[in-house]
Chains A and B, each alone.
Chain A
């Protein structure tokens, strides 16, 4: 969630600030749960192909860990670039 959204809250009257904060918190919770679900789906479909065993095999677990770590790093990078674009920064090709 954008921290810059929170900066604008300071100019609001207290009740409105409260309401805005609740709205942002709910959005954040919903967004986190959605990300969790989509990450599970992504990493499961990329990493688990066989079902000879019911427990996760070592190779599968390694793959899932790498998948999740890569996604989180990817998401951070996208966030930085997205913020730059929102601020109208020029980007080189």
Chain B
């Protein structure tokens, strides 16, 4: 089976596979960040449908810190990127 695939076609398969994994990872990272920051920053009594000033500030800081933690853990795991 492998002999039917030319080297460049195999490279292309690997590139597409990596691209897909990269996109899935980024989407997953965004989702986890969103869920985590919503839980930490938004009052769950929902007195109004707008985000208030405190919630907005908290969200911005939460996203930044989450980003830094992601990078820090990545470095500590020695891969420069969290394992997928």
Interface hits, A1-41 → B, CB 8 Å: 1-2, 5, 16, 19-20, 23-24, 27, 31, 34-35, 38
Residue in B12, B16, B34 whose CB lies within 8 Å of A74 = B34
Number of A-B contacts (CB under 8 A): 83
Secondary structure type dominating chain B contacts: helix
- Determine the distance from Cα of A70 to Cα of B64 in the docked complex, in whole angstroms: 20
CA A41 to CA B29, docked complex, whole Å: 19
Cβ–Cβ < 8 Å partners of A31 in chain B: 27, 31
List A residues at the B interface (Cβ < 8 Å).
1-2, 5, 16, 19-20, 23-24, 27, 31, 34-35, 38, 42, 46-47, 63, 65-67, 69-71, 73-75, 77-79, 81-82, 85, 91, 93
